[in-house]
Structure formats: C-alpha cells, structure tokens
Structure 1
Amino acid sequence: MRKELWFGFVLMAIIVGTVVVFTPWGNITNGHLGLIMLALIVVAIMLGFPTAFTLMGMGVFFAWLAYHSVNPDLAVQQVLDLMVQRTYGVMSNDVLIAVPLFVFMGYLVERAALIDRLFKSLHLAMAGVPGSLAVATIVTCAVFATATGIVGAVVTLMGLLALPAMLKARYNVSVAAGAITAGGCLGIMIPPSILLIVYGATAGVSVVQLYAGAFFPGLMLAGLYVGYIIILAKLKPNLMPPLPESERHVALPAFAQQLAGRGRHAVLGLLRVLGGAAGAAVAKRTAAWQLLITLLPALVVAALLVTTYRSVTAPEAEVDTTGLIEAGISFSTYEEEPAGLIGQAPVEESATGLQEPPVEESETGLQEPPVEAETGLQEPPSDEPAELAAPPGAEEAASPETQESMEEAPPADAAGRLPAPTGFWVTLGICVAALAYIYLRWNWERLEVFKMLLASFFPLTILILAVLGSIVFGFATPTEAAAVGAFGGFILAAVYRFYEHWRAARRSGRNPATAVVTTVKELGVITKESSFLTAKTSAMVCWLFVGSAIFSAAFALLGGQELVENWVLSLDLTPTQFLILAQFIIFILGWPLEWTEIIIIFMPIFIPLLTHFQIDPLFFGLLVALNLQTAFLSPPVAMAAFYLKGVAPPHVTLNQIFGGMLPFMGIQVVAIVLLYVFPEIGLWLPKVLYDR
C-alpha cells in the first residue's frame, strides 16, 4: 500500500478514535452532536465522497436532529425551509459571479498557447541569470497565476512546458519539480485568486481590499522563490548548469544581420542608419521603427515618472468641512486607530463604492463583519472639545502661533505645485541608472528578445494589470473587471491564433486569407472547451457554497459553534497564541482537504472569534491564503505533487517531487512569519487606497 494511503487511514483512525474516546456518550448533548458532525465530514471527504453533496446530506440529517429535539412534528418542514433559504441566499450572492468569469479568462489564456510563447521569451531574456530556466519557470507561473488562479492548471501546463526543458538542460530533478510546484501554487495568493473571492464571500470581507492586500505578499513570495533559486544556483552550479551558447542563441532578422557586422550595439547602429551612414543597406523607415521599439522602455518609464511627479506635487485641495462638524460628526473617530493586534478593523466598502450587495446572515450563514465602529460616523461624545465645533470664520481670529505654523508649510512654486518629496528623486535616480545599464548592454540579440517579450509577456501583463488595476483603484467591481478580463482573454486568444496561422500560411505559400477561417474554427473549439471547464469548475464552487450553507446552519443549530467558541475562550489565549493555533489547524487540514473545503467549512468557525481577539479579518485572510499555499506543498498529501506527477516522465518519482517541494515550503513559512511580523506588507496598500 502506498505511503499516502497509509497516512490517510492513520489520520482517519486518529479522528475517529478521538471522537470515540472524548465524547461523553452517557450524557451527549446537541453541541457534542455538532462536533461529531464536524469529524464525520472530514472522514467522509477523505474517503472520497463528493464534498458538496456530503455536506448537504450531513447538514440535512443533523439539522433534522436539532429540530426534532425541539418539535418533532415540524422538524421535516423546518429542514426543508432551511434548505430553500440557504440555497436562495447563495444564489443571491453577487460576489460569486466573478468566479466563472475569472475562471473563463484563465482557461482561454491556457488553451490559446500564450504561455508557451511566454515561457520561451522569458527563458531567453533570463539566459544570463543563474538557474535561468527555474527562474523563468517561477516568473511564468506568477504571470499565469494572475491570469487563471487555478493551481492544477498552472502546475499541469508548466509540467508539460518547463519540466522537459529543465531535464534536457541537466537540471536536478528535485529542483526542477520544486520550482514548478511552488510557482504553480502562487495562484492561491496572487490576485485574481479564486480563493480570495471565496474567502471574501464566506467571511464578509471586501474582495477589493483582499486583492489589494494580497498583491505585495504574493510578489514577496515570488521574489523569495527567485532569490532562493539564484543563490542555490550560485552555491551549487551542478544542480542547475548554465545554459550552453546554442540555447542562448537568437536568430537575427536580415536587417540586424547586416548592421551587426558594423557594431554590436543596437542603439548606435540604428542611429547611424538614421544619420545617413555610408554603406548602410537598411531602409531608414525600418531603422526608425526598430529604434522606436528599442526606446519603448525609456518612454514608458518617463511617462510613469511624469505622471507620478504631477501627482505628488499637486497642491492639496482644501475642503470646507464646517458643515460636517456642525452636523455633529467628530473627526477624532477617523484619526483614532482601534486597539488591536495588527491594525484597525475592516472598513465598509462605502468608501470606494465597490461594496457588493450584502447577504443576510439568516439567508446564507456567511459571517458578515461587524458594522459597529467601522464607519466612524458615531455621534460625538458630550464632552467634545470646543475647538471641533468652532463657528465659521474662526480661522480669521486664529492665534499668532497657528498663523506661524501655517506660514511654515512648504512653499509652492509659481505654478502652484508643491516640491517633490525625496522618495521621488530617489526613485528617479534608480530608474535612470537602471535604464542606463540596460541600454549600455543593448545588443542586437537583446533587441530580438525584447521584441519576443513584447509579443508574449507584455500583452498578457497589460491585460492582467488592467483587470486588477480597475478593481484595486475603484474603477470597477470584481465582477465587472472579471467580465472585461474574460473578453480581453478572448481577444488575445484570437489575435495570437490568427498571427500563428497567418505566419504559417505565408511560409507555406498559401493564401493568408485562409488564416481567418482556420482561426475562427480554432476559436470555436477553444471557446467550447473553456466554457465547459468553466461551467464544471463554477458548478463545483456553487454547490460547495450551498452544501456549506446548509452544513453551517445545522452546526449552529446544534450549538457546535458556541461550544467551539467557549472552548477557545476558556484557554485564555493571547491574540498571537490564537493565530498560531488557528494557522496550525488550517495547515493540518490542508493535508487531506482542498482549500475550497477548508474555507467554506472551517472559516465560519474561526471568523466570529476574530472580533474577540481584535484581529483584522482581512489580515487573517492573507495569512490563511499563505498557509493553504504551504499546505499544497506539504507531503505526503500535497496536491501540487500529484498534478505534476500526472504529466512528468516515468523516471520522475513522487519522492523526488516531494524532496524538491520541501525547501519552498520552508520559504513559505518564512513568508508567513514576515507577514505576521510586518503586517504592513499586506495592509499598507489597502490603507493607502481605501483609508483603512
């Protein structure tokens, strides 16, 4: 029998044995029935029963037990009413509309062969970096994760693309497998993560703020992976040998071959042609176009710096708040930060206008965050300082000290702009130095690699940034942005497939118009497959929500939630100890269960306890996402390993894959610690954008 099966049976035996030993069978209450239900659902899922329908079945049975203990005559009717109410509550949750749209976008990108081009271009662009193939794999996984957020799809596709290339380059099998599995799991954390949408709908936390909070932790984790690969390749080059020159070679077009003989520097060569250099056999129009492509990085950086300069030097608009103060609103409530472990409590989405329609607890059972003390619009206390209610015109009679402090404000220039902060000039210096370094090394091969990146990396990145940017900066709700992203993914797939068929037609001498017909047929197949897979994935998530809603209702009716809360509170834990306990339980559950089951079944148990320990649900969600990503890499029941094993060559063993995953699991533990010690990594961006 395989080791993972032994592990599963042992874990089930421990769960069943604990229930049998510690349940007071002589004096069993409804609360004990709730805990038995919780243990049975874990065992049933581990045995392979369908999760959603197992949740519904157990929820219905135990809800009937709860109602029957009160009024046997009405038990059946009340259970049926409960099923209808909970199902309707899930159906009316608008947040879940974003799930099929983001999934559809990911499947379109996956089936349009965009990732193949992306990996090849990144592989060539990073040829000089130690462990370049592994680094390119992680970067490709990070980009692909932002387009799909489905772990299985990313790991499987990268196993088909990157693993053969790394094995051909004589990479260590464990290192190659670890890079693919770790990079593929980035979709759990990096927006638009489906996990964050499900957590937000379950915990009542804004998906917009979750996306903003997960952005930097996701980048930090990807950066830690890349840093580990580079350091390991430097210390042990035999694990990741440098690529041979034949693998780094890029075929040059005709004009570049002609100009390369006169000099290796591409920018100088193109300028010579535009300056009318004697003997240049390249048209000036071609040289001008290639020079424009070459200068694109500098132009983009310059545009961003100019926009940033205008933003940071713009004078602050003065807002007359006298009317608000006279109406009785105290600004001290905005300035105070509630006492807590890691920052202030979550703020309602009314600040951004992106609040999804709330779901009543009586309908869905999904925990909503407390509304009290979130808006900051309480009536001021009776002993409010008199200066907060100063009458209009009081500024005219301001004290000399106040006038002096106002005169010390930074002077604006003739155009009325404020001086730029030091950070802007530091950023400007770094950008100029980076551009100078890039253009000093800009030869003809690098120009061709950059053009390959323009055709693969940048279009997909622009689509992703447009989707996420519209969400984070408040231009669209997650549902609207997901719809635009799905349409953008379809357009990208159409353009890429048409370009491939058009080039193939030109090479073979066929009529290029046939590329249109071929592209339309292929797009039909891609759309059909993507739609089917999207419906399958979305149906699973929605049925899980329905089953979870019924299950959690039964658990609450039996008093299981109250029993768990009383037990945790009786331990007299500090917030840090509670976080460690919660994350440890979630980590253990990540071995036998999928993240959907953990979020939907167990988060409603933890969320109500966060208020008592003064923990921000948004911050807790970021820790949970990192934790579940770690669980995906934890042997012996690491789902990412089995995804990769399914597409790996026969000689790649499961133990080799597990061995490669362990260092990356350690890196994720480091990332969790960093996020806990420095919570601003996840909370700074939501605080800046949404005034949390």
Structure 2
Amino acid sequence: MSLFPLYMFPLLFALLLVGVPVAFAMMFTATVFGYMVFDQALIHQFIEKISDVASNYVLAAVTLFVFMGCMLERAGIAKRLFEAMHLWTRRVPGGLALGTILMCIVFAASTGVIGATEVVVGLLAVPIMMKYKYDNGLMAGTICAGGSLGTMIPPSVVVVIMGPLAQVSVGDLLLGMIFPGLIMASLYMAYIVIRCIIQPSAGPVIHAGDEPELPLSEKLRITATALVPPMLMVFAVLGSIMLGLASPTEAAALGAAGAVLLTIFYGQFSLTVLHQAFLKTLRITAMIMTILLAGSMLTGIFIGSGGVILTEELVGASNLSPWGLLGVVLLMAFVGGAFLDWISVILIMIPMFTPIMVSMGFDPVWFCILFLIVIQTSYLTPPMAPAIFYLRGITPKSVTTVQMYKGVLPFIGLQVLTLILVMYFPNLVLWLPDKLLGFS
C-alpha cells in the first residue's frame, strides 16, 4: 500500500501554517505532487480542471447569489427587518435576541452568503442590546449563532459548491437543509426564551415606558414593508426550484433580478450602488472561484495518484462499522473547520469521502447535510471560532473575548443536538426532496 497521496496534506498544512493563502497553498501542493506523478502531462490535467470549473453551469449560481446579497445589503434590508422584528418581540423575555435570530433567518434566506449576515446583524443588534443591558455572553452567542445560519438556511453558496463535488443535485441539498435549518433556529429561540425567563437580567423585557407602543395598524404597515418584499423574493427563488420551474442557477438569476427590484422599491437604487455591488461581487466571486479551482486541482491529483483507492484500503483495514466511520469523518470535518475555511474543508473532504459513505449505504444528500451542520459548529467553536473574530471587530472592548467564548457554548450544544436529531431521523432531510422528485 503506497502512502504517497497522503504526503500531500503535511505539505499543504505546513504552507497554511506559515501564512500562504489557501488557494496558492493548494495550487503549489498540487503542482509539486502532480509533477511527480504525471510529469509533463500535468499541464493537461490542470487544463482539464480549469475547463471543468469554468464550464460548470451550476457554479454560475455562486456569482448570482453573491450579487443578490450585495444588492440587498445596499438596500438597507437588514435594518428594516431588525426594526420590524423588534416591534413584535420586545415585550417578550429576551425579545431583542429573539428578533435578532428571526432577522438572521430572513436575511440568510435572502443572501446565502456566510459572514456577511453576522457583520450586518452585529452592527445593528449590538448597540441596542447593550443599551438595554443584555448579558454580553447571550448577546455574542445570539449574533454569532444567528449569523452562521447562512450555512443551513437556503439558498446557500456553500451548497452550490458542495453539490457538484458530491455529485448530488444542488436542488436536493437546498430542499434537504430546510427542516434542519429551521429546527436549529427554533432551538436557538427556545433557549433564549427559557434562559431569559429563568434569568430575567440576561435579556430584560422592554416595557412601554422605555419605548412607546405603536398602534397595531402602524406595526403591520412597518412589518409588511420590511418583510413581505424580501420574503416574496425568497419564495420566488426557492419556490421556482421546488415546483420544478427553474434550476438552481436560473432561480439564482431570478433572485438577483429581485434584489435589484427591491433596491428600487426601497428607493436605494443608483448607478453608484449598482457599480459598488458589481465590484464587491467580483471580489468575492474571484476569491471563491480561485479557491475552488485550486481545490479541484488538488483533489484531481489526489485521486489521480491513487488517493481514493488508498483511502478505501485504509477504511477497510480499520474495521470500523459504517456508523463508526461516519463519526470519524464528521470529527475530521470538525477539526478541519477549526483551522481552515469552509471552502477548503469541503473541497478536500467531500470528493474523498462521499463515495465511501455511499458505498456504506448512507444517502449522499443526508451525509452532506450532516457535514454542513458540523462545518457550522466548527465555525462557532473556540479557540479558532471565525464567528467570534468577525464579532470581535465590531463590538466594544467592554465585551471580552472570554464572554464571547462562553456565550457561544450553549448554541454549540444546540447545533450538536440538531446533528443528533438529523442523524437519528434522516427523513428530516430526505422527506422534502423525495416528495418533490423531478424538480431538478
């Protein structure tokens, strides 16, 4: 048994540890090992990979979803959503935190971009939560956990990239993540309410003397203006997929057009706004596509040098049960997510382990959703916790990093609970795609 393909990973991690950007680290590793395996024929291997990425129709949805998120950010939709949710939840224990989670659900469904949700939400929620003396840990945990819902609430850029790598339908993944994502968000909200009932000082109720109550008609008007237009856009994107009227890429184009219309509806549209959204979309898409190409080159060399066969032999020699192997793979994903960005973890692990999971009798869509939940959990987990570093940049120094770490721990536990539920009840993922066969 030749262990040659495994030697790629020590070199890759060494390059990452000395600060080489992820894309260049993967390209360099692929080039060194690829030349050792294929000699001058390596150039043909790389040209083929470039052609595969450039001609992949599904990946066009990445650019369109990113543009949709950029335009909605410019439209000021997050601020309107936060104000609308705040009107209905402020009289409830932990109402500001509840409103934040609800806004994150809608905003994540409107953008599909990880990280952007947390920063935008944090800028809105931190000042008002601090004004009403919310517990710093609860505030940090709510914003970090809510902002990470972009992984599990469709449409998700992560899924658009994962689908082709796992050789499963992007539409199946988008539908399969709906129930787990909503369960996770519901668990967040239940925890917030229960904690703030037990410990009222953690999330004080805002009384009428602090903020006067608006007439019901005015609350309905504000809510309708803030919520109905983006929800119509979300339903147009997901509904067109679910009803079989559009592919994920076509639905993404529909969402991008809807985002432009929303910007016009809210009176925020201008050529300057459009130009800025185009530039931001270009920067984010170029970054994602460069990493995607580098990952495709690396996995291509790994597979071409016998990596998949070696992995299967190692799995066979380990004598692990299917569930034991699944646990090991998810643990590897969790550890990888603590040190690498989500694109790198997916690019390295999904092409390698999805075929093995299928050969063990597991459904690939179900496996991919479990993988997503683990990636989201590693996004919150100390000590690396990218979510905390996003929040650290927009919060006052009075909110300590230790408080942030403690604040995210209950939400990590709720994500693990979601993982267990999805593992135990696979139909939480598979029921909706099965009921809507033929849409993709």
SS of corresponding position for 2:122: helix
Q: Which residue does the alignment assign to 1:484?
A: 254
* Alignment partner of 2:224 out of 447, 451, 454: 454
Alignment of 1:146-545 (within 5 A): 146-251=109-214, 445-497=215-267, 523-545=270-292
AA at the equivalent of 2:49: R
Corresponding residue for residue 365 of structure 2:
618
Tell me, yes or no, if the aligned pair for 1:463 and 1:485 is still in contact at 8 Å.
yes
Query: Deviation digits for residues 41-83 of structure 1, max 9, x if unmatched?
Result: 133224321211221121111011112xxxxxxx22x011111
Which of 55, 69, 77 matches 2:26?
Answer: 55
Contact map agreement 1:645 1:654 (CA 8 A) in 2: yes
Shift of 1:545: 2.1
Whether the aligned pair in 2 keeps the contact of 1:250 and 1:448 (CA below 8 Å) is no
Match of 1:109 among 72, 77, 85: 72
Matched, 1:42 2:13: yes
| 1:426 counterpart residue number | none
In 2 relative to 1, CA 691–487 (structure 1 residues): closer, same or farther, beyond 3 Å?
A: closer
Q: Distance in 1 between matches of 2:74 and 2:424?
A: 40
Residues 591, 638 of structure 1: 8 Å contact kept: yes
Give the match for residue 87 of structure 2: 124
Taking the aligned partners of 2:166 and 2:25, their CA distance within structure 1 comes to 22
- Structure 1: distance between partners of 2:4 and 2:190: 49
Q: How many Å apart are 1:162 and its aligned residue?
A: 0.3
Give the counterpart letter for 2:7 in structure 1.
I
Which residue identity is paired with 2:147? G
Distance 1:42 1:205 in 2: 29
CA distance in structure 1 between the aligned counterparts of 2:369 and 2:382, rounded to whole angstroms: 23
Unpaired stretches in structure 2, ≥5 consecutive residues: none
CA shift at 1:99, angstroms? 0.4
Q: Could you tell me how far 1:661 is from its partner in structure 2?
A: 0.6
The number of aligned residues is 439
Does the alignment pair 1:83 with 2:68?
no
**SS in structure 2 of the partner of residue 238 of structure 1:** helix
Maintained 8 Å contact 1:146/1:464: yes
8 Å contact kept, 1:37–1:58:
yes
Counterpart Cα distance in 2 of 1:99 and 1:670: 30
Report if the CA contact (8 A) 1:59-1:551 is conserved: yes
Tell me what 1:66 maps to: 37
Q: Which residue of 2 aligns with 1:393?
A: none
Structure 1: distance between partners of 2:401 and 2:15: 26
Question: Aligned residue for 1:562?
Answer: 309
1:657 to 367, 383, 404: 404
CA distance in 1, matches of 2:16, 2:161: 19
In structure 2, the residue matched to 1:441 is none
The CA deviation string for residues 358-380 of structure 1, in whole angstroms up to 9 with x for no partner, is xxxxxxxxxxxxxxxxxxxxxxx
TM-score normalized by the length of structure 2: 0.97
Inter-partner Cα distance in structure 1 for 2:300 and 2:230: 42
Going by fraction, where is helix more abundant, 1 or 2? 2
The C-alpha deviation readout for 1:405-460, integer Å capped at 9, x for no partner, is xxxxxxxxxxxxxxxxxxxxxxxxxxxxxxxxxxxxxxxx2221111110001111
Aligned residue for 2:177, secondary structure, equals: helix
Q: Matches of 2:408 and 2:35 in 1, distance apart?
A: 45
1:247 positional shift: 4.2
CA RMSD of aligned residues (A): 1.5
| Alpha-carbon distance in structure 1 between the residues aligned to 2:348 and 2:299 | 7
Post-superposition CA distance 1:17-61 (Å, at most 9, x none): xxxxxxxxxxxx8x4332111222133224321211221121111
Q: Which is greater in Rg?
A: 1
Q: Contact between 2:292 and 2:343, CA under 8 Å: does it hold in 1?
A: no
The aligned amino acid for 1:181 is: C
Cα distance between partner residues in 2 of 1:632 and 1:587: 9
Q: % of aligned pairs identical?
A: 37
Q: CA separation in 2, counterparts of 1:144 and 1:131? A: 20
> Which position in structure 2 is the counterpart of 1:26?
none
In structure 1, what is the Cα distance between the partners aligned to 2:289 and 2:261? 28
Q: What is the aligned partner in structure 2 of residue 575 from structure 1?
A: 322
CA distance in 2, matches of 1:249, 1:679: 47
